[in-house]
Amino acid sequence: MIKNKNVSLSKGIEIIKNELLTIPNKSGIYQMIGENSEYLYIGKAKNLNNRIKFYTQPKRLNSRLSYMVSHTVKLEIIVTSSEIEALLLESNLIKKFEPIFNILLKDDKSFSSILFNFSHSFPQLSAHRGLRNIKGEYFGPFVSKKTVQKTIETLQKIFLLRTCNDNIFRSRTRPCLQFQIKRCSAPCVNLISKQNYQESLNEAKKFLQGNTKSIKQNLIKKMYDASNKQNFEAAAIFRNRIKALTEVNASQNINIPNIKDVDFLVLRKIDNKVLIQMSIIRSGCNYGSKSYFPNPGKNGNDVLEEEIMQAFVCQFYDKNLPPENILVNLYPKDKNLIEELLYKKHKIKVRIQIPQRGKKLEIIKSTLKNADENLNRKIYEKSSNKNNLKNLQRTFNFKKSIEKLEVYDNSHNQGKSPVGAMIAFNEDGFVKSQYRRYNILTEYKNSSAQINDEFINNNDYLMMNEVIRRRFIGKNSSGFPDLIIIDGGKGHLNVVLKSLEELQIRNIEVLAISKGIKRDAGRENFYTKYSESLRFNKDDPTLFFLQKLRDEVHRYAIAGHRIKSKKSIFKNPLDEISGIGATRKKSLLEEFGSARAVGTASITDLLKVEGINKSIAEKIFNFFN
């Protein structure tokens, strides 16, 4: 084994040496590529030739780099005009190709902010995520969507600002329910002047900027004035607003002298398990904390902590706006270069610092304690997940070890709005980035399910067959699971086995779960191609694990079905007919009044409508009849 490894390492070094002959002494990025054009590693360098020469010196390579070089069959470079440009390009390419030896941030979604939309004379208050390309003022980011919604509700309650969109605003002729429950001042029907609304808006901004003392004093004064005038209902409303303001202050207020906007980042690493704990402070208020678990890449034990911190900062702040101050427990590699990069990308002068004393250091130490607890919990969960996967293999006598599994379910309402769903699970837990929903495309005929002469999607076997084929046909087998779990019985199992056989996929195990007697949890039957039926004791941990997987896919499928059902309520059947555009649709609705009336019209009646010829009339008639 050692001899073979040395031979492959020598071969990789020889490939790199040959490429070195044409590599310039300039800044840029290099890409190490393995078999089947798989990206192994993408790195940046101030001097490409000097950096790549390092990989040709086996005594300086640790086990991770040796493994990487030994699998390299191709080396590609891109020359850049500066090291900053190389760093930016490296970050973009890592996200695009996800090389197996690079550090990857799995969850890099942008956070939500609160937006005051200035495109209207009565600005709307709303949650916003993504590019800040709408004219207005943004406050955030908030780690949790729930925190955003709670803050918006508090702002509504205290300042009576509108949250409805412009279309609803324009269509109102009388105040809505939000006005009735004292959460809006009804600017839509001019129950508040623009000037007074703007004053409320300015007070709300002060609130989000942390200037709450004067707001609270003003509300207290109004409460006492109302009470003195014996207007006790109004006094109670002001009292409730003061209470809401106090509750938010108590949960969010963080007093850091001379600093209002800061992100705290601390990193903890045990072997190849990494956690970065982040806390966000804006305007002296705590906008939440979140744990991130970057993937240090294959053989990640040898990755340095400063390299992980560098990768996290570059990838995270690619989508999220950084504050002027980022406080850390250790400096990222190339700290000064990263600060330049963030300025170039966001036009914000960012300082990355390690606090030495005072409140900032206290918060870093507190965040480190949270990081230790969360990392230990994650390591325990990972160990538990590994045991569950091993027990699954052992219990059902599967021939291969289970490292990744996928669970499938269908959801529909008597065949209406059918949706297929798939969730993924591995030793890290549920892999939500790989969840998928499938809108069922085929209309399946079922003689026992017929409504108004229109067949509905009510054949669960064919739906499952469609989902499996769409998931696996033409895909790269490297991303396939070791096990498929189906929410269904023996029939579903046979359908899936047949689909995989037709696709010539023979190395995936299949397990079906059918509901027990009276649909009682704990009495489920389990089927594989190796056994007719198996049932667990009610206290078996493997049963609990399988129920957890089934419940998650069930939740995900139902959520997809509800979304599709809601959309279909507002769907006009005329939109489904090819050749019917906006003009013809308008003419038909003006002539007949509704899509239902169009469906009852004869071809002769349809021909009387402007823009409808014989071919289109027959299409419409055949669609409905």
Q: Over the stretch 202-244, which tens digit does the pLDDT of each residue have?
A: 888 887 777 777 777 777 887 888 888 887 777 877 787 777 6
**What percentage of the chain exceeds 90 in pLDDT?**
32
Q: Does domain 2-97 have CATH number 3.40.1440.10?
A: yes
Superfamily classification of domain 397-566: UvrC, RNAse H endonuclease domain (3.30.420.340)
Domain ranges for the chain: 2-97, 114-252, 262-376, 397-566, 573-624
Q: What is the pLDDT of residue 250?
A: 52
Q: Name the pLDDT band for 46 (thresholds 50, 70, 90).
A: very high
Phi/psi at 6 (5° precision): -65, -40
Q: Name the pLDDT band for 7 (thresholds 50, 70, 90).
A: low
Q: Name the pLDDT band for 179 (thresholds 50, 70, 90).
A: confident
How would you class 50 by CB atoms within 10 Å of its CB: exposed for 0-12, middle for 13-18, buried for 19 or more?
Answer: exposed
**What percentage of the chain exceeds 70 in pLDDT?**
89
Could you count the other beta carbons within 10 Å of the beta carbon of residue 93? 19
- Strands (DSSP E) found in 214-373: 262-270, 273-282, 285-292, 325-328, 351-353
Contact 391, 373 (CB under 8 A): no
CA angle 479, 480, 486 (to 5 degrees): 140
Q: What is the pLDDT of residue 565?
A: 65
Answer whether residue 478 shows pLDDT above 80: no
Q: What is the pLDDT of residue 453?
A: 34
Q: Over the stretch 370-428, which tens digit does the pLDDT of each residue have?
A: 899 999 988 888 889 999 999 999 999 998 899 999 999 988 665 566 888 999 999 98
Answer whether residue 295 shows pLDDT above 70: yes
Report the alpha-carbon distance of residue 260 to residue 281 in Å, rounded. 7
Answer whether residue 270 shows pLDDT above 70: yes
Answer whether residue 617 shows pLDDT above 80: yes
Q: What is the pLDDT of residue 604?
A: 84
Amino acid at residue number 405: L
- Angle at which helix 335-346 crosses helix 305-319, to 10 degrees, equals 0
Q: Over the stretch 565-598, which tens digit does the pLDDT of each residue have?
A: 666 555 677 777 877 887 888 888 777 777 777 8
Q: What is the pLDDT of residue 519?
A: 54
Number of alpha carbons in the 13 Å side-chain half-sphere of residue 422: 23
Mean pLDDT of the chain: 84
Q: Is the peptide bond before 175 cis (omega within 30 degrees of 0)?
A: no
Report the alpha-carbon distance of residue 503 to residue 56 in Å, rounded. 43
| Angstrom distances, CA of residue 176 to CA of 181, 534, 601 | 9, 57, 39
Q: Name the pLDDT band for 521 (thresholds 50, 70, 90).
A: low
- Name, of 307-316, 435-444, 576-585, the range with top average pLDDT: 307-316
Mean pLDDT over 259-284 rounds to 87
Mean pLDDT over 484-492 rounds to 89
Q: What is the pLDDT of residue 156?
A: 83
Q: What is the pLDDT of residue 2?
A: 35
Q: What is the pLDDT of residue 207?
A: 79
Q: Name the pLDDT band for 447 (thresholds 50, 70, 90).
A: very low
CATH of 573-624, one of 1.10.1740.10, 1.10.150.20, 1.20.1050.10, 3.30.420.10: 1.10.150.20
For the whole model, what pTM was predicted? 0.70
Q: Over the stretch 313-362, which tens digit does the pLDDT of each residue have?
A: 999 998 888 999 999 999 999 999 999 999 998 899 999 999 998 888 98
Q: Over the stretch 87-116, which tens digit does the pLDDT of each residue have?
A: 989 988 998 888 989 988 876 677 888 888
262-376 belongs to which CATH class?
alpha beta
Q: What is the pLDDT of residue 570?
A: 53
Q: What is the pLDDT of residue 566?
A: 65
Q: Is 397-566 in the same CATH topology as 262-376? A: yes
Between 298 and 552, the higher pLDDT residue:
552
Q: What is the pLDDT of residue 416?
A: 66
Measured distance between the N- and C-terminal CA atoms of the chain, rounded to whole angstroms: 71
- One DSSP character per residue, 458-523 reads --HHHHHHHHHHHHHTT--GGG--SEEEEES-HHHHHHHHHHHHHTT--S-EEEEEE--GGG-TT-
DSSP label of 248? H
Q: Give the three-class secondary structure for 427.
A: coil
